[in-house]
Structure 1
Amino acid sequence: MTIDGDARSTGWEDLSGPQRAWLGALWGKSAGRAGGTANLLLSHMLDTAAVAELIWDKYLADSVRRQVAVVAGGSDAGRRLFVWLCGVHDLGKATPVFQAVDRDGAAAVRGVGLSWDDRAVKARRWRHEKVGARILKDLAQEAGWSGEHRDWVWPLVAGHHGQFPSLGDLGPGRRHEPGLRGTGDWPKAQLALLAAYTRALGYGELRDVEPRVVPSRALQLQLSGFIVMADWIASGDHFPGIDRLDEVSIDKGRSRAVAAWAQLGLARGWGRISEPSAADFKERFDVSPRPSQRVAIECAARMARPGLMIVEAPMGEGKTRTALVCAEVLASRFGFDGVFVGMPTQATSDPMFTQVRAWVEAVAPDAAGGVALLHGKRRFNSEWQRLVESAEDADAGFVSVGEDEFGLDDPYGSSEFDPCTCERPVRTVPAEWFLGAKRGLLAPFVVGTIDQLLLAATRTKHVMLRMAGLAGKVVILDEVHAADVYMSEFLMEGLRWLGQAGVPVILLSATLPPQQREQLLSAYLAGARSSEELEPVTVEAEPGYPCVTTAWVDTDGSPVVEQVAAPAWRAESLRVNVEVVGEGSSIAELLTDRLAGGGCVLIIRNTVDRAQKTYTELKGIFGSAVELLHARMHVCRRAVVTETCLDRLGPKKDGVQRPLTIVVATQIAEQSFDVDADLLITDLAPMDLLLQRIGRMHRHDGVRRPSGLREPTVVITGFAPRGEGPPSIDDASEAIYGRYPLLRSAAATLHADGDHWKVPAQVPELVAAAYDPQVAAPEAWADEVADALRTWTADQRKRADTAAQFVLTRLGEHEYPTLEGLHRGEYVKDDDVRVRDGEESIEVILVRGDTRGYRAENGRRLGPNGEVPAEVLDDVLGGTLRLPMRLARSGLESLRPLDGWRDHPWLRYSRALILDRDSRGAVGEARVRYDEELGLVVE
């Protein structure tokens, strides 16, 4: 047997008789979990090492490999160290406390002279990952490893089941440790196992494995994630048990790993790509880059090291395309292999998936099948569903994965794999393995909600998988201004880890308050410097707009921050007329006058109730020209209405005038909603969000508009001016946004009433003034504004403190050198952590009930107890919507799965809201009605 070209024999002939007996008995996977034949522990370790070789060769980005190479002292040494770390994870299974778990396996182990006290083992539990960390720590010390390297390596073993304990939590106590770890010949057997494994990977002895440099804590976390990845793959059905030592070898593990890798269809991103040019931009998007886009791409090309980019530009400027090409630049220069694009909502993720997939195909046609759409309702995305169906499988949903259930079946063409030619059909979606629970970010290219990144910054189990998924990617986050103080706690924590990991991040915003920009820069740079303190970042007071800010930490540890202003694509700003229409005035009368010559209007209300009321009023006057869009519609209806709105309010080619259209929506139309209204009517909102809404009108040149609507106009309502004093503001809006930001926005709005704002020229000025407490409020408002500021500040602090209990790193621990204690005490369960604040909601599925049983919302008949045939599943899930917690809180007990759902993998945890023939139902004491046009109505 040869290892990496090394001619040294690594068979087991040099082992003594007892050593061979021990290694031939110690089991790693029981017969019940390894296809009917137990898998020897050494076999599983070598299987995992062989998978790790493929992860290194066929998956890891060059940027990650380079970092590991520095740790090990060279490229070849980095590969070997990475492989060794992955396979050594189960060393702790060579102990009585684990070997006693399986009766047949225990008998074999006892048969070779390794015994234990049954009473001691049964009385105490000691998880194998913890005892493995203790054993490796001790054996590494005996081998002469320095303390600093022992200290960062043992947590990787201790954490391979998802959480990192403190050193004091490793063992059961000195009194019980000998019996559980093993006495007699057990220490010799453990040493023999580690030595045999180490020699099989080409090392002479354990001393030779010692790294050269301590990696950053972020790299340690990513390495931990890849260890879990290798272990989960090597624990799947593709690795049946081997219970004879003479059949175990690294070569055997390699042949098994290669077959499994091919069967699973695992693949990397685009590999190495060349740096794009302006010509490439035109080829990607069929348009030449605008001046601001050129500036951003040039800024990316000037970055000396991976870092943070913040692109601030007006709505409609093409920031997303800018970010994608900048991601190409950074990937090509620094060796990154894919992207993660984080959007504010599921609705905005869907069109972005289409755009990113087309872009990836333009960059590397063979990589387009590696783009994953990562959110809970992706099965209702028509493009995703079409791609899945073309892969000959109708269900591309997440697999429910437990700690020891790996969900490794691959439905996307594995049956067509030809082991002789190793040819596979072209993939249209990522391998199913990547789509399992907690593994989505490991897919080569990912589009999803920003929540995926925020969850990577939480102290949850298996968080290392999420961070490993981000390791070789360029991260793009859109609409970052939408992160409130609660979400920002997770965003800042995520930026710290990404900064330390050297992962490039591109942030996009049209309306970013200066304070928020500086916080984002400080967090990333603090991470890159492994600093606890968020040091102030000095940037120009008025850099211009649009602008690009780049930041990185130089080789000497000093931060570099550069800002460049860029020209907007429009030569002149839009003069947006501002009109205030007090609450209580008739919107219908206003529209009857303004729409005499036709036109397209977008109305944004802050609550569903207000949107429904407005729609009902306007529907009676304008009929089918009116559309309603909000989150209390079931997913099928919402998808249809969204597509209709995008079509009717989108620009038409050849200057064709669009039909009369009025879209009444909630905040879901506020961002990443590519419509172009002639007129905007909106409830009062904080200034940055108000400007986002303004970005939904007069968005494109060349659109034919009615003569009366050729000047962009925003009509602002939702509050009532009261003379010289502060206005009366809608209570529901205050509950959402807080009184202080709404008062500041109202002041700016009233000041501009009858005048205009220049957009985008005034955007930075308006946003900065609305968020700067030093800017004076109207004199008659001063006391009330000051009081509102105190309340708002206290609330912000409370919300930040609430979020802080869930973040990955506790206060004061950002400079810790290792992962020890990252999860000390209680880790945060996924179901318990929320990365978004606000009133919690409950997801329900609408079901029609009658004397004959149940029907899906669209009328498809279910079984008598609600049983769901496979062909009807999408019809049932299409009736999903969210109830606000205020409605559901008192009625949770009445919202349960149907009896026929209890064993269904998709529906067993779903709550059914049963409607009668009149479409009415009950949520506790509340009565509700579902209307096909209005959505859910609370009666």
Structure 2
Amino acid sequence: MRLGADGDALRAAGVLWGKSAGRAGGRKNLLLQHLLDTAAVAGWMWDGFLAPATRALLDEVTGGEGRGRVLFVWLCGVHDVGKATPAFQRMWPEGAAAVRASGLGWQESVLAGCKRKWRHDRAGAYVLRRLLPEAGWTAEHVAWVWPLIAGHHGAFPSPGALAPPPQGLGQHAGGDAWERARKALLCRFTAEVTGGAGPGAVAPARVPSRAAQLHLSGLIVMADWIASDEEHFPGVDDIDAVSFDGARRRAAAAWKALRIRGGWTELAEPGPEDFGRRFGGQEPRDSQRMVMEAARRMPEPGLLVVEAPMGEGKTKAALMAAEILAARFGADGVFVGMPTQATSDPMFGQVRSWVAALDGELADHVALLHGKRMFNKEWRALVDGESEDGAGGRFEGVDEYGECWDDEWGGDLYGIAEPVTDRNPAARGPAEWFLGAKRGLLCPFVVGTIDQLLFAATRTKHVMLRMAGLAGKVVVLDEVHAADVYMSQFLAECLRWLGQARVPVVLLSATLPPAQRRELVEAYLAGAATQEEYTAQDFPEPAGYPSVIAASLPRTGAPARIDVATAAPWRRNAPAVTVELLPETLAGAKTPAEKREALRKSADLAVVTRLERELVDGGCALVIRNTVDRAQSLFTALRDRFGHDVVLLHARLAVGPRADRTADCLRMLGPQPDPTSPRPRTIVVATQLAEQSFDVDADLLVTDLAPTDLLLQRIGRLHRHDGVARPARLSVPRVLVTGFASDHEAARVGGPPAFLGGSTFIYGEHLLLRTAALVLRAAAEGGWQIPSDVPELVAQCYGDDLSTLPEPWRGPAESAAAEWQKEQRDRADRATPYLLTRRGDKEGPTLAGLHAGPGSGGRAPVRDGEMGLEAVLVYGGANGTAYRTLSRRALTVNGDVAEDMLDDVLAGTVRLPPPCTKDAVEELRPLPGWLAHPRLRYTPALVLDGNGCARVGRHLLSYDDELGLSVAAGA
């Protein structure tokens, strides 16, 4: 039978419901109305949200300018056609009765006895696979469209999972009457949105890439979620009142109320003179001009890899390159990904300032994505409509499961879902709709942790929303060297998808190993070429530093174009960084506890004594320890000698005090407003938090040994800013390297040094050995010339040439390298089950089966190892006494929290160390007064006694306002 609509079938289709009365504001919403509502929302998305590049893509898919809009509107609206089945219509008794009264029936006893359900998303794909060929659609187009319908609730099934369960004896889909009703519904819907044409008129002309399909799938989900809001789309139960004109009016009102918008829409390509307009009149440096010119020369959307010294101005160069790429290739916003929450916060302010320089109104539409953004004053002021010092606010770090899965590096791991209620009329900020779970990346301008991007490469539910949030933007990733081998699997997978989606990407690094650089470029090009692997021929290596590599793939099928350029560094004549050794005696595995304590105190005393000498005339020192325990121990020793001149910063501080201390460090050691006035003596003791994008300037650096690239990052804090008044003895940059047991000559003659157990656990012996050789050589030969030595130092650290090591080291180094390589392979393999595509499936033409198989749809860790559990610290509660917050404000005997106390309670959030996690999950619970609280009911409390102590399993925990959380094994 030809696809058409007879009158009886059309009347029967007019009773099919799409939303029950309980989900549509008290009155049922007819299915046709919901389809038209969603199509109308899609029309507003096309006009006011989609990037020009996305619209151009859809026009290309449909074979003509302006035709893409009709297909997009139709695809979004048709998503719920699978509800026109008995399997769905029977689910609401009142609606089912009306449907059966119209003549559309089913055998209820059969369906009631069938254990396997037939979901309407899969039913919709099943229906379209049957009906679209009748309308003249070719098999190749049906093949890529049906997964969009089957996946609109977050997962893409395989073709074999679409058919109704055989146990239902055909009752799930119904008989001929149901088939006619579905055809009538499809024809009526299509005629409404096309102005009278049938489904054949919207048939595509070209198959889009799989990445474009994933992008489109996310947009369909977005349209469905907006149109499912009962406040703006209440039920319509009279078929005579259903029309596309009415749906458009409803959608227009909803769009205005929700304040959803895209980014620039149309953007003029900036010229060289615009750099100063964006950044306070500054003239671009040679390296910044180099990056901007590379963006201008790129013939297709592609990948820029920018390598430049710390403090060179890579961020500003990247933002200007993003602006150029957006203007040239039709992107409508940016995503800027940072390695940590701490680095995301200052970047948020920089991006807002840059966006404001383009269009002042757009600065309010920049989103900050990580689970502790409530402690960012600029974000709080934006969304709460208050000054940056305002006391108001609300907790914003709960995901859709009600938990704050936030690790010390990244943002919330599964999508921030903020309980947004009673929004302040003075609030600006991004549209409130974007603050919901899994929607943040859809905001036109986004700054967040790299985790937000990495989750777009995981086989998790609703991954299409993340890809839709990245496609149509320019993606900028800073500090990409910080991705370890586990994270790099997700980064490479995401670059593949972005390459296939033709999304311009800018990667930034100060210290990128050559092999990692090539892997990143080839991952992007493999996606652009839709190949399982891509090997770039004659891959160019930069001949200088700073450098930029520009890689793109012509649409003609020609080989990739990979260009490289270099520029002179900004600080051309910087003095060499003097490298000095401060070895210590280390405890062995069998060293008695008393001896361990004595060695620890001796190591701390050596640093204290050295700093007494170095800071005799004042100055600012940064000391970086590789573990929290070492940082706490040294801080205690330094505090006894230097008092309040010492600041401690690490990941086991509660989030409120940690945010305050970070801000204090940036204020004390940031750019100096008065270069004629010496800074007060300051010593910052920190862990790896101070390693990246921590814009402080130290006169002297003391650091534990770490792999060369990370050591160079730490050195990047040394004499970072110009115009800083320094004591004469600290006028030359110096780094004192400790955390190993050796002296220069003994290490050369007697074998490699010994390393701290904590350092070896974190970094592995292989990289520490190779770094130690470089450090010993630098100490003997006068230090390092920064930045010119950086590329070669990193290459030697990550290379495999043993001749660079002292002869006695080579045997142990070879064994350590083999162990390290095996560990790298094992860690990479641990990521494989979570990747969006499996090996051998990276050239697939459609989304069919993307979520099929074990391990799909659930949570996927994008960082290796145990995260630890977050808990909120409170005092008291014993013997019926009231609980108190970490800042000692009184709660109640049940811990009830008034709204104005919420921020103070949550400021006490701290992450417990991984060894405590198992016991903490079993033992810790929310306080009784939190169980009914929408933002605290899933939050465990760690109740401290009057001495600040608590026991979790065999672990004795204590919290000190200065030291933070300390952990010891209990009896």
- TM-score for the superposition, normalised by structure 2: 0.92
Distance in 1 (CA, whole Å) between partners of 2:952 and 2:397 is 29
Work out whether residues 416 and 437 of structure 2, in 8 Å CA contact, stay in contact via their aligned partners in 1.
no
TM superposition shift of 1:553: 0.5
1:250-399 mapped onto 2 (5 Å cutoff): 250-286=244-280, 287-390=282-385, 394-395=393-394, 397=396
Q: 393-402 or 792-801: which moved more?
A: 393-402
Distance in 2 (CA, whole Å) between partners of 1:565 and 1:345 is 29
**Residues 702-735 of structure 1 deviation map (CA, whole Å, 9 limit, x = unaligned):** 2111000011101001001254201000000000
Distance in 2 (CA, whole Å) between partners of 1:643 and 1:409 is 27
TM superposition shift of 1:141: 1.7
Match 1:732 to one of 726, 737, 758: 758
AA aligned to 2:736 is V
1:771-782 mapped onto 2 (5 Å cutoff): 771-776=798-803, 777-782=805-810
Distance in 1 (CA, whole Å) between partners of 2:256 and 2:542 is 54
Work out whether residues 407 and 433 of structure 1, in 8 Å CA contact, stay in contact via their aligned partners in 2.
no
Work out whether residues 896 and 910 of structure 1, in 8 Å CA contact, stay in contact via their aligned partners in 2.
yes
Counterpart position of 1:232? 225
Distance in 1 (CA, whole Å) between partners of 2:909 and 2:538 is 48
1:859 has 2:859 as partner: no
1:892 has 2:921 as partner: yes
Work out whether residues 380 and 386 of structure 2, in 8 Å CA contact, stay in contact via their aligned partners in 1.
no
Work out whether residues 395 and 935 of structure 2, in 8 Å CA contact, stay in contact via their aligned partners in 1.
no
Match 2:771 to one of 745, 757, 762: 745
Distance in 1 (CA, whole Å) between partners of 2:674 and 2:148 is 61
Counterpart position of 1:419? none
Q: Secondary structure at the match of 1:682?
A: strand
1:714 has 2:740 as partner: no
Work out whether residues 485 and 827 of structure 2, in 8 Å CA contact, stay in contact via their aligned partners in 1.
yes
Work out whether residues 579 and 716 of structure 1, in 8 Å CA contact, stay in contact via their aligned partners in 2.
yes
Counterpart position of 1:46? 36
Q: Secondary structure at the match of 1:180?
A: coil
Distance in 1 (CA, whole Å) between partners of 2:543 and 2:724 is 32
Counterpart position of 2:172? 180
Q: Secondary structure at the match of 1:904?
A: coil
1:394-473 mapped onto 2 (5 Å cutoff): 394-395=393-394, 397=396, 401=400, 428-473=428-473
Counterpart position of 1:844? 871
Q: Secondary structure at the match of 2:785?
A: strand
Counterpart position of 1:32? 22
AA aligned to 2:654 is H
Q: Secondary structure at the match of 1:603?
A: strand
Q: Secondary structure at the match of 1:841?
A: coil
Distance in 2 (CA, whole Å) between partners of 1:661 and 1:913 is 33
Match 1:245 to one of 233, 239, 260: 239
1:681 has 2:702 as partner: yes
Match 1:142 to one of 131, 134, 157: 134
Counterpart position of 1:908? 937
1:633 has 2:623 as partner: no
AA aligned to 1:491 is L
**Residues 877-915 of structure 1 deviation map (CA, whole Å, 9 limit, x = unaligned):** 100011111133334322221222223222122111100
**Residues 259-305 of structure 1 deviation map (CA, whole Å, 9 limit, x = unaligned):** 00111111111221111123211111121111110111111111111
Counterpart position of 1:602? 622
Work out whether residues 487 and 836 of structure 1, in 8 Å CA contact, stay in contact via their aligned partners in 2.
yes
AA aligned to 1:303 is M
Q: Percent identity?
A: 54
Distance in 2 (CA, whole Å) between partners of 1:495 and 1:246 is 49
Work out whether residues 579 and 713 of structure 1, in 8 Å CA contact, stay in contact via their aligned partners in 2.
yes
Distance in 2 (CA, whole Å) between partners of 1:299 and 1:407 is 38
Cα pair distance change 1:193/1:221, threshold 3 Å? same
AA aligned to 1:72 is T
Distance in 2 (CA, whole Å) between partners of 1:775 and 1:297 is 39
Counterpart position of 1:156? 148
Work out whether residues 635 and 879 of structure 1, in 8 Å CA contact, stay in contact via their aligned partners in 2.
yes
Q: Secondary structure at the match of 2:561?
A: strand
TM superposition shift of 1:779: 1.1
Structure 2: where are the runs of 5+ without partners? 403-414, 586-602
Q: Secondary structure at the match of 2:869?
A: strand
Counterpart position of 2:674? 654
TM superposition shift of 1:397: 2.4
Q: Secondary structure at the match of 2:46?
A: helix
Distance in 2 (CA, whole Å) between partners of 1:495 and 1:848 is 47
AA aligned to 1:685 is A
Work out whether residues 388 and 396 of structure 1, in 8 Å CA contact, stay in contact via their aligned partners in 2.
no
Counterpart position of 1:120? 110
Q: 172-181 or 565-574: which moved more?
A: 172-181
Distance in 1 (CA, whole Å) between partners of 2:530 and 2:615 is 58
Counterpart position of 1:923? 952
Work out whether residues 580 and 736 of structure 2, in 8 Å CA contact, stay in contact via their aligned partners in 1.
yes
TM superposition shift of 1:238: 0.7
Distance in 2 (CA, whole Å) between partners of 1:220 and 1:109 is 34
Distance in 2 (CA, whole Å) between partners of 1:710 and 1:660 is 15
Distance in 2 (CA, whole Å) between partners of 1:394 and 1:680 is 38
Counterpart position of 2:817? 789
**Residues 555-594 of structure 1 deviation map (CA, whole Å, 9 limit, x = unaligned):** 2122110000111111224300011110245011111111
1:660-671 mapped onto 2 (5 Å cutoff): 660-671=681-692
Q: Secondary structure at the match of 2:345?
A: helix
Work out whether residues 269 and 445 of structure 1, in 8 Å CA contact, stay in contact via their aligned partners in 2.
yes
Distance in 2 (CA, whole Å) between partners of 1:207 and 1:643 is 60
Work out whether residues 518 and 537 of structure 1, in 8 Å CA contact, stay in contact via their aligned partners in 2.
no
Work out whether residues 312 and 546 of structure 1, in 8 Å CA contact, stay in contact via their aligned partners in 2.
yes
- TM-score for the superposition, normalised by structure 1: 0.95
AA aligned to 2:886 is E
Counterpart position of 2:596? none
Counterpart position of 2:640? 620
Distance in 1 (CA, whole Å) between partners of 2:851 and 2:241 is 39
Distance in 1 (CA, whole Å) between partners of 2:228 and 2:541 is 56
Distance in 2 (CA, whole Å) between partners of 1:402 and 1:85 is 30
AA aligned to 1:878 is A
Work out whether residues 398 and 437 of structure 1, in 8 Å CA contact, stay in contact via their aligned partners in 2.
no
Q: 791-800 or 539-548: which moved more?
A: 539-548
Counterpart position of 1:10? none
Distance in 1 (CA, whole Å) between partners of 2:959 and 2:252 is 53
TM superposition shift of 1:20: 3.8
Counterpart position of 2:833? 805
TM superposition shift of 1:143: 2.0
Counterpart position of 1:574? 575
**Residues 133-185 of structure 1 deviation map (CA, whole Å, 9 limit, x = unaligned):** 01101101222221110100000000000000000111244453621001141
TM superposition shift of 1:508: 0.4
TM superposition shift of 1:783: 1.1
Distance in 1 (CA, whole Å) between partners of 2:516 and 2:578 is 28
Distance in 1 (CA, whole Å) between partners of 2:91 and 2:167 is 21
Q: 540-549 or 129-138: which moved more?
A: 540-549
Distance in 1 (CA, whole Å) between partners of 2:39 and 2:420 is 22
Match 1:217 to one of 186, 203, 210: 210
TM superposition shift of 1:409: 9.2
Aligned pair count? 914
Work out whether residues 290 and 569 of structure 1, in 8 Å CA contact, stay in contact via their aligned partners in 2.
yes
1:523 has 2:523 as partner: yes
Work out whether residues 31 and 83 of structure 2, in 8 Å CA contact, stay in contact via their aligned partners in 1.
yes
Q: 718-727 or 518-527: which moved more?
A: 718-727
Work out whether residues 525 and 553 of structure 2, in 8 Å CA contact, stay in contact via their aligned partners in 1.
yes
AA aligned to 2:158 is S
Match 2:197 to one of 183, 204, 211: 204
**Residues 472-517 of structure 1 deviation map (CA, whole Å, 9 limit, x = unaligned):** 1100000000000000000000000000000000000000000000
Counterpart position of 1:422? none
1:107 has 2:108 as partner: no
**Residues 37-84 of structure 1 deviation map (CA, whole Å, 9 limit, x = unaligned):** 100000000000000000111000001111111001123210000010
Distance in 2 (CA, whole Å) between partners of 1:607 and 1:409 is 36
Counterpart position of 1:491? 491
